[in-house]
Each structure stands twice: as C-alpha cells, then as structure tokens.
A and B are shown apart, each in its own frame.
Chain A
Amino acid sequence: MSDRIIDQTAAELSAGIREGRYTSVEVTTAFLDRIDAIDGTVKAFLHVDREGALATAAEVDADIAAGKETFALAGVPIAIKDVVVTKGMPTTAASKILEGWIPPYDATIVERIKTARMPILGKTNMDEFAMGSSTEYSAYGKTLNPWDTGRIPGGSGGGSAAAVAAKMAPLAIGTDTGGSIRQPGAVTGTFGAKPTYGSNSRYGLIAFSSSLDTPGPVARNALDAALLHEAISGHDPRDSTAIDAPVPPVVAAARAGATGDLSGVKLGVVKEFKEGSDAAEPGVIAAYEAAVEQLVKLGAEIVEVSCPSFAYALPTYYLIAPSEASSNLARYDGVRYGLRAGDDGKHSLEEVMSLTREAGFGPEVKRRIILGTYALSAGYVDAFYGKAQKVRTLIKQDFEQAFESVDAIISPTTPFVAFKFGERTGDPYQMYLADLYTIPSNLYGGPGVSVPVGLSEGMPVGLQVMGPVMGDDITYRVAAAFESTQDTLLADTAPEIEGK
C-alpha cells in the first residue's frame, strides 16, 4: 500500500489522525491539492471550499492535541453532492435556476457531518436536480469518468463518484432516487449505498421525488461507507417520513463481512431480472457471475426468487418520479430566490415565471416536468400516476415476499458499463435503462449497495446487494465479504489521472 495520504481509506485516515500519524490539516490539504491538480480534468466539483475545510481540520487537530474526544470520522474530509443544502456555501442542484443561491440553512445530514467534524471539501457535480444517469445534464458541464475520460461517470451523482474514484475525496455524500448513488458507484469502481428510505433525513435535500429520494454514502469500500452511514443516519423530527428506530448496525456488519464468512446467508437472484436482461452487456453479466461464484465460495446459498412485477418497475418509476418532481420543482419561479428572467417591465408575472423556468431548467428537467404534469393531469391521473402507485404496491409485495425466503437479493448494479458521452442523450428511454436494476429498491423502500466486482472492457462493474426495509446491515455484510476475496480494492487499480 502506498504511503500517499490520498490512497488511504477513510477508516485508515481516521485512525491515522487520532493516533497522530498525520493531522487533519495534512489530510485535508492532500485532498485539496489533489483537487487542484486534477479536477481541471475530471470536473467533479462545482465548488471547493479550501478555507472552510482547513478551518474545520485545524479545529479537529486542536481538539485531538488537547486530548478531547472526537467522533469516528473527525478530521476526515468529505465532498457533498450539490443537491444537498449547505449553509453559506453555494447550492445549485447543478441548475441554472439556482445559480448563485447561498442557502441560509444546513440540511440535517450536513449538520451531522459538521457535528462529526468532517471538513467539507466542496460540492460535487450531478445531473440537474438529480435527473439523469450520466451527469451530462448538469448545467455546469459534464464530469469525466476517471477510468476513461471519454466516458460518463454515471449519474445523477457522477461528481461524488468521480471525486472518490479519482481520490479527490475519501468520502462523499450522494442521493439516490432511482440509482443515483449506486449506478455512478458501479461505473466508477466505487462503493455506493442507498440506505432504507426514511432512515436518513431528507431535510435539506433538494427534492426530486419525495417518496423515492434517499441520501447515502459514497466511498472506496464497504467499511468506509458504513462509517459515514452511521454518522449521518437516524431519526430527524424535521422529516415526517423519517423512521424513528435505531440505525441498523452497518459498521459491525461491514466488519463481520470482512471476515469472509457468509455461511448460512441466503442470497436471492430474481428470475425476472435475468429474463429481462436483454439490455445487459455480456461483459457485465460475466463479471457479475464471477462475483456470485466468489460469494458461494464464502458459504452463501443462492436461491432463485420471483418478482413478477419487476417488468413494470421502470415505467412505474418514470411515472411516479416525474409526477412528484413536477410539483416539487414548481417553487423555482424567480420570486423568492434564484434566477429571474424577462423582468423588463413589459412582462407580467406569469410571463416572467415562464421565462425564468424556460431559461433556468435544462431539457431533461423540462421533459420530466411535462411528463409529470401529464401523468397528474385531470383525465390521465388514474391511468398513469394512480396506476403507477398501485403497481408500486405490487412491486413492494413481490420484494417483501422474496425477503421472506432470502436474506438479500443480488444483481448487477447496472446493465452496462460507463457509456461514451452523448451515446444516450438523444434517446431518453435508452438513458433510463441504466437504472433498470436499481429502481426496484427505491420503489419498495429497502436498502441497496453497489460494490465494485471487476472489469468489463476495462471499465468497472458493480454488484448490487439489496436488503429488506431496515435491513441495511446485511447488504454491507455481503458486500464486505466480497471485498475480502480481493487482493486490492478495484478503486486502487484505476489509471492515474493527468492534471491539466
């Protein structure tokens, strides 16, 4: 293992800081310097806060020097997806409509990150309002995949994934509505976890689809993600959909998994995932199957389960998410914050609102707003939005039933490796297929993690482990167990990025 600070995992950095091997300022500086050196190429960050990050780092160092007790991840820097509201730090959701907005408050998870004393490096790029699977829909330019800069880093959280993959941050926050943590994780060779819906506060998360959005950790491995998961999780009285129950013991589960023992664990493979996998590339399937073999060697039992409604997950998702989004995004009207366009004294308020939204939203956001408006409009709501809600019930029931006979369900994270820029932007439906396997857990509400398992065409492939609602621990355990079979983390085998 290299001696470079940026090559260490968050767990190693945390231990190193507490044991005095290096200071948080040194660690934070190393990542900030890395950002300076290569982010001109990768473009993972929309905003970098060198001063703020170093100030927090210096405080942590002072506390440690004074012998004060600190949180597990104190002094370990972190990057935050720009869809999460940060007080005093620009927050745009990668949209022109929020350009220049400085929030007057912190999201609950940001408060928790501050409580944990993690220096915040800055805000990461994403698809506008988290709508996309490639980060090509950012209003501020695309982020490149560190493995191949001609390819997408996944989305919507391509910036967070690329920042961790390129070692510009040891940890990052992502948000996952249909796969936006897991799919970027898979295509950049990083670890991403979508926790159980409601187990992480959405307060301060710029809403895309309220009933699906979930914030979660992006990291290099399961243990790091678990440490961050525990730091940000738990009940929040400001979020009415937050579950008031103890956080599943994900750190302990990751440690247990690292022992490499999965005996007695039943892993489900969904029959219909396989049948519906025409979209999946053979290389992805091969890497996935090799991973499954490893899990069997560790003692896991593979059981076929059936989720007959799986075939409808994608259309169900693409009705529910845009419907909620069309309402959630109505507030961007140029009255209270953000962009205002066309206010030249000649236009009425109604016109100014429309011109503002025309100028402020990109094409994918507009497309989804129109789609959602359609699905909710009188005459169509029963056939579209209402129907989708009922099918969602069936999908939930399928998975609940499946989890009666298995501990976790596994699948490839995404049907294909990172595609080339522009390959799917012309055909939205082809883009939507990227989330084929990740969408179900958003619909039934349970946890899902993506762990890097290998390469196809030289690009990373992820294994997804899904669990029942509040069963986040088992997903970490299985993922960590797979990691124990590998000599090095996939993230450490990425090609070196040249700075510009």
Chain B
Amino acid sequence: MSKLNTYEDAVAAYEPVLGLETHIELDTRTKMFCGCSTTFGGEPNTQVCPVCLALPGALPVANRAAIEATIKIGLALNCSIAEWTRFARKNYFYPDMPKNFQTTQYEEPLCEEGYVDVTVDGKPYRVEIERVHLEEDTGKTLHVGGATGRIHGATESLVDYNRAGIPLVEIVTKPVPGTGALAPEVARAYVTELRDIVRSLGVSDVRMEQGSMRCDVNLSLNKPGAEWGTRTETKNVNSLRSVERAVRHEVRRQSALLDEGIKIIQETRHFQEGTGETSPGRSKEEATDYRYFPEPDLAVMEPSREWVEELRASLPEPPRQRRERLQAEWSLADKEMQSVVNADAVELIESTIAAGAASSSAVKWWLGELSRRANEAGEELGALQITPAQVAELQGMVDDGRLNDKLARQVIDGVLVGEGSPAEVAQKRGLEVVSDTGALEAAVDEAIAANPAVADKIRGGAHAAAGVLIGAVMKATKGQADAGSVRQIILDKLAG
C-alpha cells in the first residue's frame, strides 16, 4: 500500500495537469467493418462473421454511418474535420483482438483541434480536444478460476467476440493545466459534458455502467512554475464518480512520492472501484512497439465539405446552450440548475414538463423525493423505475386533491416496485385522500372529544394548537385525509 498525502496538502504543494482519453461505442446497427449486429447482450459468439472473427481471407469495409457519427461528434466538439484521412493498423497481440492488430487511426485522425467548455464552482474552464478518431472495439474476456473474476489469479480465460469490431470513437484531450485543487471536479465536469454532447447527438447511448463509454485518466503533478511532471495513465475508470476519485487518488499518491524525492514512472494503472485507489499494471519488460502503418485493406477517406456541412446543419442544440435556455424557462437559480445538472435530471424534468407537470413540480419531485430514493438505492436517477409521464400523472393527482404529499410518496413506493401507474397503485393500495366530509367531521368530533383542553385553547384563539387535533385525525384516517381540509373543519367547529 503506497503512502498518501491528504488532498489539501497535495494541492497546496503541487499543480496537477489532467488529460482524458475517452472511448465511446457508437450505436450503429452494424459493426465498424462488417455487417454483424451490435445489439448488446447477445448469446456469446452469435454476432460474429469471417471479418470480425478475423478468419483467414476476410476483409473490412468501413461503415458509412460510423464515419458520419464520428464527424458529428467532432463538429459538436468544435473540431476541424480532416479533408484527407485514413485508417492505420496498431499491431499488438491480445486474445480479445481477433486480428492481433486494431484498425484505428494514427497520424491522420478524422477530427482535430476542438474544445469543450465546462463550469465548475462558477468558474469556466476550456478543455481542449486534441483529436477524435474512429477505431474498433475488442471482444470480451471472462477470467475464470481467480477469486474476483480479474485477470490476476485466473487459471484460464474465455473469449466472446460479439463486441469485437463495434465502432469505437476515441476522444483525446490536450493536457489541461491550471485547474488546481479543482482538477477532480473539472475532470468529472468534462466527462459529463462530453457524455451529454454525445447523447444529444443520438449516436451512442453513452452508458458508463454498460461500458459504452469508458475513460482513461492521465495525471501529472509539478511544483508551481516548474515543468510538467511525468504522467500516469489510469485505465478503465467507469463512472463519473470514479473519474473524480481516480484523479483525487493520483494527486494524493503522486504527491507523496514526489515529497520523498521518488520519480514518477510513466505507467499504466488500474482504478479499483472498491477502494477508490489506483494500482500499477504489470510492468512490461519491453516497451510496446505498435508498428503502426496505413491500413492497406481500406481506402483513404476524403470527407467532402458538402457532406460535413450537411452533418453540421443536422446537429441539435448544444447541451450547454440548451441548459441555459431551460434554466431561464424553468426560472431556476444557478445553484438549482447546477443541482439539476449534477443529478443528471435535465431530460427527466423536461419530459415531465412535456407530460403536463408545472416546471416547479417537476423539479421538486426529481430533485427531492426521487433523488433521495436514487441515493438510497445507490442508483442513477434515470435508472429508477418511474417515468417522467408517471411523475406528471402523480403531480396531477396531487393538484386534483386526490393525493397529499404523504400519500404521493406511498404511491411512489408502489410505482418503483412495479405495481403500475400512480393511479393504479393508489387504487390497489387504497391510497386516495378521504374526501367524504361526513367521515372527516366524525373523526374531528372524536378528536375534539378526546382532547377537550386543546379544543378550549383553540376556541380561545390559539389556532396553532389545531396541529394536535389534525395529527389525531390523520392518525384515525391513516393519513388519507387532506390536512388543509381537516384544519378548516376543526376551525369551523371551534369558531367563536
């Protein structure tokens, strides 16, 4: 176990320089170089053909839709699109890579020189994009015999090539200096923004938990004013939270080493989800030599300017611009909007409003009760088993006086476990507000009779004391009464 500095000490003494490399699987119908389906979760080795299994003699043909999607991503990231570009082979042996080379791009990426703007703690940061290129994904390896399913300790591995050859877009930032102590937050904000941009384009479902978006985090430290330090590359950081944690951990770990005068070695590290730490990859005896060369089996690409402009014209409103517009439409303060964004609730709220809820109600449900439920369950908000339409329906029932807040929360319980729509749950569980005035008046009479002293106080003008009687009535009606109506009945009965 390596020694760690506290984060505060680390960033007081050193300046971090960030770099992020993100891989995004495109959701084209077919793979990058063959016609196999890309559907997630198929039976092992059922979505393979001579091309993506690298059978002798098979040849690749590039998927036009993947090229278009990559150009769109490049444009959305403010990149320039190459006028001449091609694929290259990256040669290395690994069993999940059927050809033992990856078809990727080397010196001539499809898109270059862009940027993504993010705001952290009210401060703007521009993360510059070095390149966006297109390549192919690898198969999936299952490690058997080890305790944890990890490669270490495994006695054998099993390979499924369904994922091999799915188009993968690699997005590489330039080094990002100047973030200081906010490096972890800037890293997270960038990855979040990138995800939102790509999602808005509809070219990938960008689900980190499913692996359709994967992040490698580069980090180096230097003393203020000194040259940049040696960076480490932490692989496969697979949630937004992990991005932040990985940066934080590397800052703490590297600073402790530097304090002791130990040089950082340029190495690949692995993020451990359980501990939040990074661990070194197996050090290679020899430096990897990928022997890149232009892919002779594929034609070069010259995306025409007309094509690029057509794609540019098809881009949706950028998420950042859209957020600013929605914030104004929903009349939210900066901080509230930030909470909405942090909770990943923009689209949920937007859809809830579209389904008929007032913006204030939509924000209230998603940021309040539903966020709490998601936290408790350790899930993303969007993963909750309730749809924006159901939230709007729920709010409608509240507005109609059929549910009070407490009942509404109980209805949510039912919806989340799949009992049906809010109306169905309310009906099945008998959760409608008691609107039978006769029944309510009887309950109030009973409460007054049981609490003569309190009743007298109220008669004497101490209206606040009504709370005790309301509580008693609510208890008697099992909470299915509307508190406002009960209060009114009590005050009417005890008036004068």
Q: Which residues of A contact B (CB under 8 A)?
A: 84-85, 91, 93, 98, 101, 103-105, 107, 202-207, 209-211, 237-241, 323-324, 326-327, 330-333, 335-337, 349-350, 353, 373, 376-378, 381, 385
Residues in chain B near residue A238, CB distance under 8 A: 59, 61
List, in ascending order, chain B residues with CB within 8 A of A353's CB.
Answer: 93
Give complex CA distance A98, B56 in Å.
9
What separation, in Å, do the CA atoms of A204 and B299 have in the docked complex? 18
Q: Do A202 and B59 touch (CB < 8 A)?
A: yes
Residue of B nearest to A330 (CB): B100
Contacting pair B293 A337 (CB below 8 A): no
CA distance A91 to B61 in the complex (A): 23
- Interface residue ranges, B against A (CB under 8 Å): 50, 53-62, 89, 91, 93, 95, 98-101, 157, 159, 161, 289, 291-293, 296-299
Cβ–Cβ contact A376 & B293, under 8 A: yes
Q: Can you identify 8 A-B contacts, CB atoms within 8 angstroms?
A: A84-B57, A103-B55, A207-B56, A239-B61, A240-B298, A240-B299, A327-B291, A332-B56
Chain A residue nearest to B89 in the complex (CB)? A327
Check if A207 sits within 8 Å of B95, measured CB to CB: no
A204 near B296: Cβ-Cβ < 8 Å? no
A336, B59: Cβ atoms closer than 8 Å: no
Chain B CB within 10 Å — which of A85, A210, A330 has the most? A330
A211 touches B296 (CB 8 A): yes
Q: Is B91 a contact partner of A330 (Cβ separation < 8 A)?
A: yes
A interface, by DSSP: helix, strand, loop or mixed? loop
Task: Give Cα A323–Cα B291 distance, bound, in whole angstroms.
Answer: 9
Q: What residues of chain B lie closer than 8 Å to A335, measured between beta carbons?
A: 95, 159
Return A237 CB to nearest CB of chain B, in Å. 7
Residue picked from B58, B59, B289, B299, most chain A C-beta under 10 Å: B59
With A105-B55, A353-B93 already in contact, 6 other A-B pairs whose C-beta atoms are closer than 8 Å: A204-B58, A238-B59, A239-B61, A331-B99, A331-B100, A349-B95
Given the known inter-chain contacts A210-B296, A377-B289, please indicate yes or no for A331 contacting B91, CB distance below 8 A.
no
B290 → chain A closest CB, angstroms:
8
Across the interface, do B55 and A104 meet the contact criterion of CB distance under 8 Å? yes
Measured CA separation A381–B291 after assembly (Å): 8
CA distance A39 to B469 in the complex (A): 108
Whose C-beta in chain B lies nearest to the C-beta of A324?
B296
Given known contacts A327-B291, A377-B289, A381-B293, A336 and B56 CB-to-CB distance under 8 angstroms = no
Residues from chain A with Cβ under 8 Å of B59 in the complex: 202-203, 238-240
Which among B292, B297, B298, B299 has the greatest number of chain A C-beta atoms within 10 A?
B297
In the complex, are the beta carbons of A240 and B99 less than 8 A apart? Answer: no
Residues of B within 8 A of A84 (CB): 57
A497 to B322, CA, bound (A): 83
Contact partners of B293 in chain A: CB under 8 A: 323-324, 327, 376, 381, 385
B contact patch SS = loop
Tell me, rounded to whole Å, the shortest Cβ–Cβ distance linking A416 to chain B.
31
Query: A366 to chain B: closest CB distance in Å?
Result: 16
| CB of B382, distance to nearest CB on chain A (Å) | 38
Cα–Cα distance between A105 and B299 once the two chains are bound (Å)? 24
- For B291, give its contact among A98, A101, A376 (CB under 8 Å): A376
Bound-state Cα–Cα, A93 to B62, Å = 27
Most buried by A among B62, B93, B292, B296: B296
Given contacts A331-B98, A349-B157, A353-B93, contact A336 B296 (CB under 8 A): no
> In the complex the two chains form, is A333's CB within 8 Å of B95's CB?
yes
CB-defined contacts of A209 to chain B, threshold 8 Å? 296
Q: Give the residue among B60, B161, B289 with the most A Cβ atoms within 10 A.
A: B289
Q: Is the CB of B291 within 8 A of A373?
A: yes
Q: Are A206 and B57 in contact (CB under 8 A)?
A: yes
Q: Is the CB of A327 within 8 A of B101?
A: yes
The answer for the CA separation of A208 and B95 in the assembled complex, in Å, is 21
Which residue of chain B has its CB nearest to the CB of A91?
A: B56
Q: How far apart are A203's CB and chain B's nearest CB, in angstroms?
A: 5
Q: Within 8 Å CB of B101, what residues of A?
A: 327, 330
Query: Within the assembled complex, what's the spacing in Å between the Cα atoms of A238 and B59?
Result: 7
Inter-chain contacts of A350 with B (CB < 8 A)? 93
Give Cα distance in the complex from A419 to B98, angstroms: 40
Closest to B161 in A: A336
Residues on B with C-beta less than 8 A from A101 are: 56
Q: Once bound together, how far apart are the Cα atoms of A333 and B299, in whole Å?
A: 27
CB-CB under 8 A for A107 and B93, given A210-B297, A327-B293, A331-B98:
no
Q: Within the assembled complex, what's the spacing in Å between the Cα atoms of A323 and B298?
A: 16
Residues of A close to B60: CB separation below 8 A? 240
Q: How far is the CA of A326 from the CA of B99 in the complex (A)?
A: 11
Please measure, in the bound complex, the distance between the C-alpha atom of A84 and the C-alpha atom of B105, giving whole angstroms.
29
In the complex formed, the residue of A with least CB distance to B99 is: A331
State in angstroms the CA–CA spacing of A411 and B55 once bound together: 38
- Distance from B84 Cβ to chain A, minimum over Cβ atoms (Å): 16
Bound complex: CA of A207 vs CA of B293, how far in Å?
A: 16
Q: State the Cβ distance, A380 to closest chain B Cβ, in Å.
A: 10
**How far does the Cβ of A99 sit from chain B's closest Cβ, in whole Å?**
13
Question: In the complex, what distance in Å separates the CA atom of A330 from the CA atom of B61?
Answer: 20
Rounded to whole angstroms, the CA-CA distance of A263 and B239 in the bound complex is 76
A229 to B296, CA, bound (A): 24
Residue of A nearest to B50 (CB): A105
| Cα of A241 to Cα of B294 in the assembled complex, Å | 14
Q: What residues on B are CB-neighbors of A326 within 8 Å?
A: 91, 291
Are B95 and A241 neighbours in the complex by a CB distance under 8 Å? Answer: no
Q: Are B61 and A206 in contact (CB under 8 A)?
A: no
User: How many angstroms between the C-alpha atoms of A326 and B291 in the bound complex?
Assistant: 10
CA A332 – CA B159 in complex, angstroms? 16
Q: What separation, in Å, do the CA atoms of A211 and B298 have in the docked complex? A: 10
Residues of A near B100 (CB, < 8 A) are 330-331, 333
Interchain CA distance A105-B59 in the complex, whole Å:
13
Q: How far is the CA of A373 from the CA of B98 in the complex (A)?
A: 19
A-B pairs, top 10 by smallest CB distance, nearest first, are: A330-B100, A376-B291, A210-B296, A211-B296, A85-B57, A204-B57, A206-B56, A331-B54, A206-B57, A378-B289
Contact of A336 among B62, B98, B289, B291 (CB under 8 A): B98
Measured CB to CB, the closest approach of chain A to B13, in angstroms, equals: 36
